[in-house]
Structure 1
Amino acid sequence: MVKTNKRILRGVLMLTYLFIIGILLFLVSSLYSFLNTGADRSKMLHTEVKQVEQYLPKVTWKNDGNKGRKISQEKIIAVQNDYLDAWYVKQVAYKTNTRVGIEDYFTKSSRKNIYNILDYNKLHKTSIESTTLEHNLDLEFFSEDGQLIVLKDSNALEYKKILKDKKLILESTEVSTYRYVLLLEDGFWRVRHMVKESTAKFKDTSQKNPLNFTNIKGINYYPQATPWNMYGDAFDINIIKNDFRIIKKAGLNSIRIFVPYEDFGKANVKFEKLEKLKKVLDTAFAEDLKVVVTLFDFYGNYDVLDWTLNQRHAEKIVETFKDHPAILAWDVKNEPNLDFASRGEVNVTAWLDFMIILIKKIDKKHPVTIGWSNTKSATILKDKVDVVSFHYYEDIEQLESEYLKLKEEIKDKPIVLQEFGLSSYGGFWRPFVGSEEKQANYYKEIQSIMTKNSIPFMSWTLYDFDVVPKEVLGSLPWRTNPQKKFGFITSSGAKKLSYKYISKE
């Protein structure tokens, strides 16, 4: 028995010894591996610029060679990435008055000036919100030892706002030319020195794109079973084709559709979503329907640091479909004025302004508009858009006078009533308020007004919906239930009394 216990004890001691040796070997090997591996840059970056695409301005390179040693395309990409990341972390720093990330992209001497600016701004409760939208780069010198680069950035397009005590004191858009000296340190191309050589006020040279198709008799469209999710897993082009035939047979000639920002992939637009949108446009063209494409549905941030991502999104969609024969116009955003209270009118209108410039730069043929929620806001950016679009859900008795006032102020551009309608809902949450008869009378009267004044129109909407996503109006039943009953056709496919007035009196 004693011998047995000794053997057990000896075995336990041996196993413990082997376990300890194993732990020690693991720790030593891990340390050796760490010491023989370069630093993981993604872990060094406080801003996580490399993990998430947060800043994607338009970049072009001048391809005429450079003084000094030849440089590979791989290094060119590395220089570009680090150069843009330096811009980004500086923009974040000036917005937040913090130093996070500056050390990663600026040498000790160059970050001293940045820190002085941050300290001054913080003391005086001042912040700078800025971004760059375009860079035109020229590699002027690459040293023989591969450690130094001179980079020229011509006509960089910059937008900035300066705020004091959170109040706007200056807004400017400039085109500037810079020269940068970059040093390779610890695998980073860090900014060693920067000189602004010239700067000038940005001038918008966008051309006007007239609306050639003015006899608009249209409707806002979603498939009945998938409203606000038209391009999801349940996408069925045969259902859409049948609906377009119904729309055409009803005497309409155009539709308005919506492109959801996040669903389409934000800055990296998904190929499969573009393919679905193409099928919709192809089908509309086959049915002789013109299409107004509304961009940025379900987007409402407008943050200056988001602008470059938004522009890459719009750029991809507009570039892909600018020559499609079904396109009637680009609608930048649906009812952006509803975001004035939460996001600030200056922020929203500046975002819209630059988006108009971008779209017009890509598509020089199709007009651009904005879907304002009322006549009051419709004059905003009237000199920038090609078509003024407004929505009207107010008292029908005031429609004609509101339209004539708008027409008096905007004499040189088409004005489109882009959304209007009345719910037939008269249930528990709105008893005795709505009915199919009241809806039909509303459309009869409004069609009479539009015929009298030759108002181009696009009504809301073809079908009643069984479900309205909470992202649209929230989840309160007294808001969502009426929204379900704006259609000319019930969710089961029966034509409502209002269908008689879908296109004319």
Structure 2
Amino acid sequence: NKKVKNIFTDQEIIEAEVKLVEQVVTKYKNHPALYAWDLGNEHSQLHIQVNNQEINKWLNKFTNLIKDIDSDHPTTLGIHQLDIEKDTGFQPQVVSQNCELITMHGYSVYAGWGKGYLDNNVIPFLNYLVSKLSGKRVLFSEFGFATNEQQQPTTEITLTWADNHQQKTYLVAEEEAAKCTIKIIQTLKAMGSLGAFLWCYADYDKSLRKLPPFDRAVQEMSFGITRADGSLKSVARMLKNIQLGEEQNKKKIEILKEKYYQQPLENLMKYYQEYNKDE
């Protein structure tokens, strides 16, 4: 009957977070592989009520703590598609007040406002919109496709989430997923995105299929660019020879960021229509 403690406001949790940050940042601040400090992944997925002011206070505390130890690497916090579709509190405007780097996650297969599961404009549009809302360049740090078995066509599936609501999604044919992924990366480069990280490295072994969380979320088994046996999927082979052009940021949409979260989903859909006008 105990409630989960609020990681943003509970003093005991915050004290533990301070110790964790101090020790991790001190130990790894000079590691050659370090790019930035990420304060968390999609916090709005947690069943914790938190408002803008509490988020801002928490971010301010920990970004400053990190900077006191390591002033050479930027800080960020992973926001995702849901944070743009509704007001979860994790607005780009709020995150950008404290973090030097804005990182974004998104998936066309979950974008009910898009033009279908292979809509290769969804990710570049989210990059564009979040950049305008935050006033900073964006690193698209998570996107990709869950693929079907090798040589199998795209299959529609229905997911049942922990709160028992259902959602339609797809296990995408490998070749379709690869071509769409390459187009997305090329567009992100052309529009001036800081970069793109694919979700993820490898598929999970089939022996895990009936275990949580895969029993409810089968799509999480197969987001890899390699299969569970280490063999390369089509996307991995295509990435070896990808051609990237120069930046040519042609999109100019007036984003009213002060009013965006009055009706976030409606505004998102309106701006997406504008984004696609010349397509």
Provide TM-score, normalisation by structure 2: 0.63
Which residue pairs with 1:227 in the alignment?
none
Question: Could you say if the C-alpha distance between residues 469 and 476 of structure 1 is closer, same or farther in structure 2, counting changes exceeding 3 Å?
Answer: closer
Bigger Rg, which one:
1
Q: CA deviation at 1:310?
A: 0.8
The structural deviation recorded for 1:444 is 2.4
Instruction: Sort the Cα spacing of 1:325 and 1:300 in 2 relative to 1 into closer, same or farther, 3 A.
Output: farther
1:423 counterpart = 2:142: no
Aligned residues: percent identity? Answer: 20
In structure 2, the partner of 1:403 is 127
Q: Which whole-Å CA distance do the structure 1 matches of 2:126 and 2:157 have between them?
A: 30
Give 1:354 shift.
1.5
351, 355, 358: which is aligned to 2:58?
Answer: 351
Give how far 1:369 is off: 0.8
Which of 192, 197, 206 aligns to 1:454? It is 192
Q: Deviations over 1:332-381 (max 9, x none)?
A: 11111223x52323544433331112111111111111111236233322
- RMSD of the TM alignment (CA)? 3.0
CA distance in 2, matches of 1:441, 1:345: 40
Question: Do 1:378 and 1:390's aligned partners in 2 also have CA atoms closer than 8 Å?
Answer: no
Structure with the higher fraction of residues in strand conformation? 1
Q: Name the structure, 1 or 2, with higher relative contact order (CA <8 Å, separation 6+).
A: 2
- 1:474 positional shift: 4.6
Aligned pair 1:342/2:48, yes or no?
yes
Structure 1 residues 263-302: aligned runs within 5 Å: 301-302=7-8
Q: Is the 8 A contact 2:38 2:77 kept in 1?
A: yes
2:100 to 379, 386, 391: 386
User: Any residues of structure 2 matched to 1:364-383 within 5 Å, and which?
Assistant: 364-374=71-81, 376=84, 377-383=91-97
In 1, Cα distance between the equivalents of 2:58 and 2:145? 31
> Distance between the aligned counterparts of 1:334 and 1:311, measured in 2?
18
Is the contact made by 2:59 and 2:98 (CA closer than 8 Å) also made in structure 1?
no
Q: Is contact 1:388–1:416 with CA below 8 Å preserved after alignment?
A: yes
5+ residue gaps, structure 2: 85-90, 112-119, 149-153, 159-168, 244-279
**Structure 1 residues 116-138: Cα deviation after superposition (integer angstroms, max 9, x where no partner):** xxxxxxxxxxxxxxxxxxxxxxx
Instruction: Note the C-alpha offset of 1:428.
Output: 8.8
Give the 3-state SS of the residue equivalent to 1:369 in structure 2: strand
Asked if 1:484 is matched to 2:221, the reply is yes
Shift in Å, 1:441? 2.4
Matched, 1:442 2:180: yes
Cα distance in 1 between the residues matched to 2:178 and 2:105: 19
Deviations 1:235-272 (A, max 9, x none): xxxxxxxxxxxxxxxxxxxxxxxxxxxxxxxxxxxxxx
In structure 1, what residue type is equivalent to 2:32?
P
Q: How far apart in 2 are the matches of 1:457 and 1:414?
A: 12
Asked whether the equivalents of residues 157 and 170 of structure 2 are also in contact (C-alpha less than 8 Å), the reply is: no
Alpha-carbon contact 1:443-1:502 (below 8 Å) kept: no
